[in-house]
Structure 1
Amino acid sequence: MRDRVLTGGARTTGVLLCLLLALLGAAWAARDLTAARPGAEVWWAWLGGARGPRDATAPVSSLLDPLLALGALTAAVTAVRGAVPAPVAAGALCSLGTATALLRAPLLWMPGVGRLPGTDTGLTSWAHRTVLAELALAAALLVVVAAGRRRAGRAGRHRGRSAHGLPEAALSAYGVVRAVPQAADPGRPGRPRKGPARTTAVLLAAAGLAVAGGELYRLLTSGADGYRTGLLGDATDLPALPPPPAHWHAAVLVLLALGAAVAALRRASWARPAAVAAAALLCADGAGVLALAAHTGRAARLAALSGPDRLELATAAFLVLSGLTALLVAFRRGVPDPAVGAGGALAYGSAPGAARPPHAPPPPSTLPPGW
């Protein structure tokens, strides 16, 4: 099957949807940072620390809001850049839409969402509408990527290129030295190279399995009923825009990490943006646990902690290291698009007096045979 690329309209629509998602998350984060006194309380509340009085200055958002805003801005920049291969742009939009839908979906059935005692009912109503808007925007992103694709083979004809990738002006010329840049690792544009792909796959798979192992331990210790509560959630004592339930959040991390690891192992064209999204969430989750442990003093008395608590901190440190490393590796350039730069073919003969490039074959003689 031939490769498909995003149309210009799909890219533009995707960028607008990303900007709307970023605006929603940034607006609530800015509201909390402005209303809270001091602003540091918002940071610790985002990390899961004890919240202050349930009044008008109480944080309404969670750490997920600035994270989604930052991810939406990154996806918008990726999609708007014309030099980014279409599969990478599509992967960035799909990764953002999938992560937003999975992380916001529990707020549809969690009791108490949008209810913040002691605050204005209009504020909590807007918070609930924000959840619905984010889910609608995430679904729209997936629809735009699915519907806004066309076959890649038609693009070259509208840019004045032949079926061989050469400019039409070069067809009448002779002495073409190099028509298309030679890639050291041929393949579909945007796909990761072999070394970085394997490294990313190993790191994300290890991090995903570490989170899955922790969830299996919690299932065995808390029982089916207790684990179900942590999976489906109980928002009776949470902010108006609560984070997903703890076990649901962990399950999403496992799903995204293992999915990105499989994509990187297969060197799919969309593997790099998927790996960036999964690695960023893993790194943020581990860093939040470590920062809260340092703030509450748990890290200072590490030797006195129980085995499960020490294992939790060790897992968080591993998530930070593996997530940060996978993030840096996934940001490396993938296989370049051979169509980019193909117009710089070295040819001579199409213009009078054109100089012959080095190592070019001599032009054919215009003299009759035998001279």
Structure 2
Amino acid sequence: MAMPQVRVLGKGARITGGIFCLLFALHTWIWVLRDILELEFATTWRVWTGGLGSAAGELTDIPATTATDVGLGLLQIAAVFAAFTGAWAAGGLIAVTTALTLSYRLPVIWHAGLHSESSPYYALGGFFNDPAVDAAWTSCVWTVIFCVPLAIVLMAGNRTWTGQPPQPAQPYGQPPQPYGQAYGQPVPPQPQQVVISPQPHQPYEPPLPSESPQRPTGAHAVVTAVFLGLLMVFHVGWSLEAFSNGGGDYWLKLFTGEGTVVALLDASLGWEWLTLIIAGGVGVGLALARRVSARGFTLGLAILLLPEAFIALWGQLDAGTFFELGDAAPVAGAFGRLQVLITLAGAVTLIVLTLRPGIPAQPGPAPAPGAAVPFGAQPGQPVPQPYFPPQPGPGPAGPAYAYPPSQPAGPPPPAQSAGPPPGAPPGTPPPPASPPPQGGAGGTFGPPPAY
């Protein structure tokens, strides 16, 4: 099966994406710092682990972040690091960071904008005139706006990777190689040139890892398909379970977040399910197609999911509720614990596999600009070289073959008569000149002429 065309993110788009992801990371971690300073770390940790419970009414400030924001903030930092260092995961990480930042910040616009006494969106209640609500709304509006030009930059900055190694540097003081000589084409004699460079020869710099793409291995593709496929099944199942037990109105509230979100930047549960279903499907498709962006994309999903699963497991073990499935819905409780364990193990495994070397992409060298492609050859394949038989060198008696002169020779001079043969009577005409040889090789050397 032919591999798809390899496309990598250009340097300009990569640096631009790193700057935008840095702004996204600052936005997320400023709100995390606000929670720690305003609510103290103990209360913030209880909000992240879901253990606030009856103490929610004692809050004087509405919380802003959840465990999902911790994972999203780590993902944004990883994208910044990959972009500025030219890491191999830069393209996929920036793409998944842009998509997830847009998806998780978009619902905050209507959560904070529509939160009122008549229709409270936050489950904690109150905080209708809290300036933090307006600040969350304004900051998320700008975040969503910044995601749009970044997506355009990423699409425009994707370029085809030809796989051509950089041309070796010419020796110091030597003229450049004539064009066409690399393809066996005849090159006219070049005048002797002497290049005087005021600077010494610069050493060759190898390409960045992001400029040497690698495809995911078979093990990476299988783990990605199994892990993300199971998570997609879980999220679809939770959505169906909510619709069947709570009805259409309850499912719609879970999707819009009305009365169900806890923190200012919290995405509604139904919206988060839909986001992870779509992102997981894209990750599975990229991995199975062995696209070079699959490694960075799946690494980003693992970075997002790992902190949330770890914090959830920590909170359940600390509260002693991990082995308590509950009497109301023990089956749903068992599946919830199973999902936490699968997410934790799958994310760690996926990160380890992603950090291992992949399969180097082999797109094949592209033809040189302006070079003719022979009939029947495919673009991207090396141009066949013409065959020139070796010529024997000069020997002791001179060259073995005589080549015709560069200028065309004039008509042959008329044959000179050697006079009448000796002993002939006076008045005998001289014999006629010999005819030119027929069928012989030109020049002095070669087979004798045939008469």
Partner Cα separation in structure 2 for residue 96 and residue 237 of structure 1: 22
Partner Cα separation in structure 2 for residue 290 and residue 20 of structure 1: 30
How far does residue 135 in structure 1 lie from its aligned partner after superposition? Answer: 1.3
Partner Cα separation in structure 1 for residue 104 and residue 258 of structure 2: 15
Structure-2 residue corresponding to 1:247: 270
Which amino acid in the other structure matches residue 126 of structure 1? Answer: A
How far does residue 8 in structure 1 lie from its aligned partner after superposition? Answer: 2.5
Structure 1 stretches of 4+ moved >6 Å: 113-116
TM (normalized to structure 1)? 0.74
Structure-2 residue corresponding to 1:47: 49
Which amino acid in the other structure matches residue 146 of structure 1? Answer: M
Q: 2:228 aligns with which of 204, 214, 236?
A: 204
CA shift digits 1:229-263 (9 cap, x unpaired) = 1112115873333x111122122122222221121
1:328 equivalent to 2:352? Answer yes
How far does residue 156 in structure 1 lie from its aligned partner after superposition? Answer: 5.8
Structure-2 residue corresponding to 1:109: 110
- Does the CA contact (< 8 Å) of 1:204 and 1:279 recur in 2? no
The higher relative CO (CA closer than 8 Å, separation ≥ 6) is in 1
1:233 equivalent to 2:257? Answer yes
Structure-1 residue corresponding to 2:76: 72
- Does the CA contact (< 8 Å) of 2:74 and 2:303 recur in 1? no
Which has the higher mean CA deviation after the structures are superposed, 14-23 or 279-288? 279-288
Q: 1:337 to 1:147 in 2, by over 3 A?
A: same
How far does residue 218 in structure 1 lie from its aligned partner after superposition? Answer: 2.5
How far does residue 338 in structure 1 lie from its aligned partner after superposition? Answer: 7.5
How far does residue 297 in structure 1 lie from its aligned partner after superposition? Answer: 3.1
| Residues paired across the two proteins, number | 322
SS in 1 for 2:214: coil
TM (normalized to structure 2)? 0.62
How far does residue 116 in structure 1 lie from its aligned partner after superposition? Answer: 8.1
Structure-1 residue corresponding to 2:387: none
SS in 1 for 2:101: helix
Q: Spell out the pairing of 1:86-125 with structure 2 (5 A cutoff).
A: 88-110=89-111, 111-112=114-115, 117-118=126-127, 121-125=130-134
How far does residue 102 in structure 1 lie from its aligned partner after superposition? Answer: 1.5
Q: Comparing both structures, which one devotes a greater share of its residues to helix?
A: 1
Identity of aligned residues (%): 23
Q: 1:221 to 1:35 in 2, by over 3 A?
A: same
CA shift digits 1:191-230 (9 cap, x unpaired) = 2122322222222212322332233222222222211111
Q: 1:337 to 1:312 in 2, by over 3 A?
A: closer
Partner Cα separation in structure 2 for residue 257 and residue 24 of structure 1: 25
Which amino acid in the other structure matches residue 64 of structure 2? Answer: V
Q: 2:324 aligns with which of 288, 301, 317?
A: 301
Q: 1:8 aligns with which of 8, 11, 18?
A: 11
1:282 equivalent to 2:329? Answer no
1:143 equivalent to 2:152? Answer yes
Partner Cα separation in structure 2 for residue 47 and residue 208 of structure 1: 23
How far does residue 57 in structure 1 lie from its aligned partner after superposition? Answer: 4.4
CA shift digits 1:75-106 (9 cap, x unpaired) = 11112223x34xx4222111101111122222
Structure-2 residue corresponding to 1:292: 315
Q: 1:32 to 1:128 in 2, by over 3 A?
A: same
Which amino acid in the other structure matches residue 92 of structure 2? Answer: G
- Does the CA contact (< 8 Å) of 2:253 and 2:259 recur in 1? no
Partner Cα separation in structure 2 for residue 197 and residue 168 of structure 1: 42
Q: 1:54 to 1:231 in 2, by over 3 A?
A: same
How far does residue 151 in structure 1 lie from its aligned partner after superposition? Answer: 4.0
Structure-1 residue corresponding to 2:240: 216
How far does residue 120 in structure 1 lie from its aligned partner after superposition? Answer: 7.0
Which amino acid in the other structure matches residue 75 of structure 1? Answer: A
Q: 1:7 to 1:302 in 2, by over 3 A?
A: closer
User: Which structure: larger Rg?
Assistant: 2
Partner Cα separation in structure 2 for residue 205 and residue 259 of structure 1: 11
Which amino acid in the other structure matches residue 331 of structure 1? Answer: L
Partner Cα separation in structure 2 for residue 336 and residue 369 of structure 1: 50
Which has the higher mean CA deviation after the structures are superposed, 227-236 or 265-274? 227-236
Q: 1:59 to 1:26 in 2, by over 3 A?
A: same
Partner Cα separation in structure 2 for residue 52 and residue 303 of structure 1: 22
Structure-2 residue corresponding to 1:363: none
Q: Spell out the pairing of 1:306-321 with structure 2 (5 A cutoff).
A: 306-321=330-345
Partner Cα separation in structure 1 for residue 305 and residue 220 of structure 2: 18
SS in 1 for 2:359: coil
Gaps of 5+ in 2: 116-120, 179-205, 207-211, 364-392, 398-451
Partner Cα separation in structure 1 for residue 396 and residue 93 of structure 2: 64
Partner Cα separation in structure 2 for residue 49 and residue 256 of structure 1: 28
Q: 1:257 aligns with which of 273, 280, 290?
A: 280
Partner Cα separation in structure 1 for residue 261 and residue 270 of structure 2: 17
- Does the CA contact (< 8 Å) of 1:200 and 1:329 recur in 2? no
CA shift digits 1:324-353 (9 cap, x unpaired) = 2222222322234679xxxxxxxxxxxxxx
SS in 2 for 1:109: helix
Q: 1:370 to 1:58 in 2, by over 3 A?
A: farther
Structure-1 residue corresponding to 2:28: 25
Which has the higher mean CA deviation after the structures are superposed, 274-283 or 50-59? 50-59
